[in-house]
Amino acid sequence: MLLLTGAAGFIGSCFLTDHIKTGKKVIIVDDFQRPDKWSNFQHKAFHQKIERDQLFHYLDQEKPAIESVLHLGARTNTTEFDQKIFDRLNLNYSKKIWEYCSQQQIPLIYASSAATYGNGEKGFDDNHEIVEQLEPLNPYGDSKNEFDKWVLKQNQRPPHWIGLKFFNVYGPNEYHKGRMASIVWHAYHQIKKTGKVRLFKSYKDAFKHGEQKRDFIYIKDLLKIVKFLENPKNPSGLYNIGTGKATTYNELITSIFESLNLSVNIEYIEMPQDLKNTYQYYTQANIKKLQKTGYQESFYTTKDSVKDYVTHFLEQSQKVY
């Protein structure tokens, strides 16, 4: 049986939908007090639902037959600056899960983040040697990097463990994320409402407006990678989860307009002050480690992934993956 935390979130709910097709039982964990997240589910094809704060009491009391853990639950707001929230939900909660999996010798996959790379001065290599040197730009990135650093220092470990350094993910089931939803989600709704998309101006000479670049990865590609890395034959460690290609915001937005058969209309606006010092202008995953394990699947192109998301989900008002 799989234990899945963050099951009502964006990536977690999409993973659950894929996983239950195998017929295997899943225990799902999240903060189900939020009705906006619970609406990600239109099915009850899971074994048991556990409130996030009750998880460890449940594990102590029930001793369930858990075969593996996928830990995706986290506070992901990059504009949140209350360090105590990240310490509790991202760092200390994750430590307890690691310790449980180590003691019970249960394989663990957990969500890290490309936010750990900060402004990219140290590169974007999932090399364990540089983790201590990384300087994230916000408390969210710090919390993820602090856990990665802690993990690499542990002598007692799960029999197989993987840290997923997610780059910019987009796809269905992200509607509840608000400001933290992907640029594709926000741009689509801006187009529907105003006929145009507003992008932040660049404040660095090396990047023209809209030419900031990110490694955007579609949720369907991400799920294939996670499924692949579940195999215990793959070496334990941190892995970049991206396409290995940086795409400009202008290119991404153009693909949305094209998917809607509309002319491109982009307006460049001032960036909010709280983002100016924490904004990543460029990310591109080095995926050589992933490829070295034998992963050779092709990725969706930007145009194809955006068209799939827009036409099959957003245009259909389909919330659930």
Task: State how far the Cα of 28 lies from the Cα of 60, in Å rounded to an integer.
Answer: 16
Euclidean distance between CA atoms 134 and 117, whole angstroms: 6
What token pair was written down for 120?
Answer: 């990219």
Beta-bridge partners for 248: 213
Of 93, 140, 170, 239, the catalytic one is 140
93 flagged as catalytic: no
Structure tokens that stand for 196 in this block: 């145009």
Chain centre to alpha carbon of residue 153: 24
Catalytic option among 49, 122, 177, 303: 177
Using H for helix, E for strand and C for coil, what is the string for 255-296?
A: HHHHHCCCCCCEEEECCCHHHHCCCCCECCCCCHHHHHCCCC
Tell me which amino acid residue 82 is: D
β-bridge partners, 70: 4, 109
268 catalytic residue (yes or no): no
User: And the tokens for 168?
Assistant: 């910019």
Q: Are strands 213-214 and 247-248 parallel, antiparallel or unpaired?
A: antiparallel
Residue 227: other Cβ atoms inside 10 A: 13
Any idea what DSSP says for residue 180? Answer: G
Token pair belonging to 41:
């589910």
**How many H-runs (helices) and E-runs (strands) does the chain carry?**
12, 13
- CA separation, residue 20 to residues 2, 17, 321 (Å): 10, 6, 13
Residues with catalytic annotation? 140, 177
